[in-house]
Amino acid sequence: MEKRTIDPWKWGEQTNSAQAVAVKNVEGTLYCSGQAAIDENGVPSNAEMRSQLIQTIQNLEKLINASGYECKNIVRLNVYTTSTQDFFTTCMDVYVPFLQKYGIKQATITKYSARR
């Protein structure tokens, strides 16, 4: 697979993201359901956001590896959070190293959802 990222702005380098990702010569495509902080017994986490992100990343890695694909080929990630402020101030030291570990530069969105 050939992968090329397009990003005319420098700020994307801080989050290892890109505004667009073009892929060619793809042999297969894996569509993943949204992953969350749920343990192997199906029990959701009630820990703080940072711990939930760690569990979610572990779940994503396990899913992709079990399917025979590689994390380095991720082209799109969506992050849903209840606080973009908390995500960018307390979780980037978990999120960015995960992306860097595999050389992932993905098209992404961080979306805020209000809590009741």
Average pLDDT over residues 87-109: 92
Q: Give the pLDDT confidence score for residue 43 in this predicted structure.
A: 94
Measured N-to-C along each axis, helices 49-66 and 92-102 cross at an angle, to the nearest 10 degrees, of 20
Q: Give the pLDDT confidence score for residue 14 in this predicted structure.
A: 76
Q: How far is CA 6 from CA 46, 62, 104, in A?
A: 37, 28, 13
Helix, strand or coil, per DSSP, at residue 116: coil
The pTM for the full model equals 0.82
User: Distance from CA of residue 39 to its chain's centroid?
Assistant: 18
Q: Give the pLDDT confidence score for residue 116 in this predicted structure.
A: 55
- Provide the 10 A C-beta neighbour count for residue 9: 8
Q: Give the pLDDT confidence score for residue 51 in this predicted structure.
A: 96
Q: Give the tokens for residue 65.
A: 């590896």
What is the identity of the amino acid at 10?
A: K
- Highest averaged pLDDT of the listed ranges 22-36, 51-65, 70-84: 51-65
Q: Give the pLDDT confidence score for residue 3 in this predicted structure.
A: 85
